[in-house]
Amino acid sequence: MPKILFIFSTIVFIFAYGVGVGKYEIFPHKWIDAAVDSVKAVIVDIRMVTGTKPTQHIKKLPSPPAKADPVTGSTTGYTAVSGFFDDGMEIRLLDGSGNMAHRWPVSFKKIWPDPGHIPSKDVPQSDWNTYFNGIIVHPDGSVVFPFRGLIKLDSCGEVIWKSTKRAHHSVERSPRGTYWSPGSNFVENGTDYLPFRGTYYDHTVVEFSADGEVLREISVVGALKKNKMFALLNANNRHFELFNEIDIIHLNDAEEIPTEYLPQFPQFSAGDILLSLREPNLVMVMDPETQEIKWHMIGPWNQQHDTDWQPDGTITLFNNNYDRTRLGTELGGSSILSVDPKTNEVKILYGEKEGQRFYSAVQGDHQVLENGNIVIVESTFGRVFEVTSDGTPVWEYVNYYSEDEVLLVSDVARYPEEGMDVASWQCSPD
Ligand SMILES: [Ca+2]
Ligand SMILES: [Ca+2]
């Protein structure tokens, strides 16, 4: 091929890839949304496709490192994490010392050898050009996670079932043993939602049976319309017709209220689901039967992820506090917040203080443990850590690629050791 043609085709590839990233969430698009970053993403993508270096999953640590001393303590229970480890995307189970207790390699090509349910332009170029959020590890060693559908693998990583219904960002079990995930449908020329004439992703909540069958799907944009809350979506001078194929709400969590928490949430009922919508900084509780939105609040969180019900009648969340800086220096970094939906009182549980600095512009996950400790994933800096309720770090795992580079970790789920008979699972890690 003449050199000039090669250069031209590379530029076309770069451009196409940059567009793909923006439109189809191949990677966290906010992470690489600036034009210069898109070009960078493409340059790295050549190394991704050729399997040379997983640059798309790597972030360079600040220099000098913001935190000098590693936390060396151990913890109890098993910590499930997902991200890029060693040779590819995986779900891993870590023991209390951070050692790998089990692993589930996740290959797009193996799970979806014939991805007919995905538009060809969205099919990843390689197993490395993928990522996912949301994991559940079951006591028998099976895992469920959204990955261009909802997937259940056994302890050896073989597919037990898979649904082609698009699911993304999170998966949570209901009290009935079913699964909730955010879903999405592509809407062309959004005439259903005039005056918004654009083409967009209508994010939905999808309930799957324990066998992966779709039981129901509810449009969240439709629910906002029904509750006369549509004005929230074009606040800040946003006009959807100016955009194309836009992710207008970025639904990133859906979980049903645990039955045992109901007495602490008298304003809500069994079956209600908690939703996190990143774009409008909106957290809300919806009855999926009637689509009545029973409570909602915008901020003070900013671009949040992972809202969780708590047994004390509060809701906690990962406040990304995205501010377009590399280290969150403009707004003070990310934090874990709690809100009482009875009073709308907000408290900072961890972060936004000297000595508690962490920051993940996108993704991020947290879990409040029974003893009040909090496990936090600082996704883009590849760090999972646990702090006590007074903010003392007690455990840490960093997914290093090199001395000054880390690989993204998207999720965390902590499980007590009891009931997780990991030694009995087939296919122990090699
Ligand atoms: Ca959550
Ligand atoms: Ca959580």
Q: Give pLDDT tens digits for 216-226.
A: 999 998 999 89
Residue 40, pLDDT > 50, answer no
Residue 185, pLDDT > 90, answer no
369 alpha carbon, closest ligand: 2
Torsions phi, psi for 231 (to 5 deg): -60, -25
CB-based contacts of 415, cutoff 8 Å, min separation 6: 77, 78, 79, 80, 137
CA 298 – CA 306 distance, rounded (Å): 15
Asked if residues 321 and 336 have their Cβ atoms less than 8 Å apart, the reply is no
Residue 65, pLDDT > 60, answer no
Residue 249, pLDDT > 90, answer no
Nearby residues for ligand 2 (ion, Cβ within 5 Å)? 306, 308, 367
The reply to whether 9 and 69 lie within a common domain is no
CA 415 – CA 138 distance, rounded (Å): 9
Distance 132 CA to ligand 2 centre (A): 15
Q: Looking at residues 401-420, what average pLDDT do you find? A: 93
Asked if residues 378 and 387 have their Cβ atoms less than 8 Å apart, the reply is no
Distance 2 CA to ligand 2 centre (A): 52
39 three-state secondary structure: helix
Assess if residue 430 is contained within a domain: no
Distance 134 CA to ligand 2 centre (A): 9
Best CA proximity match to 195, nearest among 249, 236, 227, 238: 238
The reply to whether 278 and 212 lie within a common domain is yes
The reply to whether 17 and 148 lie within a common domain is no
Distance 104 CA to ligand 2 centre (A): 21
Distance 116 CA to ligand 2 centre (A): 32
> For the segment 393-407, what is each residue's pLDDT rounded down to a tens digit?
999 999 999 989 999
Assess if residue 429 is contained within a domain: no
> For the segment 135-148, what is each residue's pLDDT rounded down to a tens digit?
999 999 999 999 99
Domain that holds residue 31: 1-53
- Angstrom CA distances, 2 to 5, 6, 14, 235, stand at 5, 6, 18, 51
User: What is the tally of structural domains in the chain?
Assistant: 2
E strand spans, 209-304: 214-219, 244-246, 251-256, 273-277, 282-286, 293-298
Classify residue 421 as exposed, middle or buried by CB count within 10 Å of its CB (0-12, 13-18, 19+): exposed
CA 152 – CA 222 distance, rounded (Å): 29
One-letter identity of residue 362:
V
Residue 246, pLDDT > 80, answer no
Higher-confidence residue of 123 and 113: namely 113
366 alpha carbon, closest ligand: 2
Retrieve residue 166's tokens.
């698009």
- Reported as type and span, the H/E element at residue 58 is strand 58-60
The reply to whether 309 and 400 lie within a common domain is yes
The model carries a pTM of 0.88
Please give the share of the chain, as a percent, with pLDDT higher than 70: 82
The reply to whether 25 and 144 lie within a common domain is no
The reply to whether 108 and 153 lie within a common domain is yes
pLDDT computed for residue 428 by the predictor: 74
Asked if residues 357 and 345 have their Cβ atoms less than 8 Å apart, the reply is no
Asked if residues 407 and 84 have their Cβ atoms less than 8 Å apart, the reply is yes
Which residues face 350 on adjacent strands? 336
The reply to whether 17 and 77 lie within a common domain is no
- What's the CATH number where 139 sits? 2.130.10.10
Distance 181 CA to ligand 1 centre (A): 11
Assess if residue 318 is contained within a domain: yes
pLDDT computed for residue 6 by the predictor: 44
Distance 6 CA to ligand 1 centre (A): 46
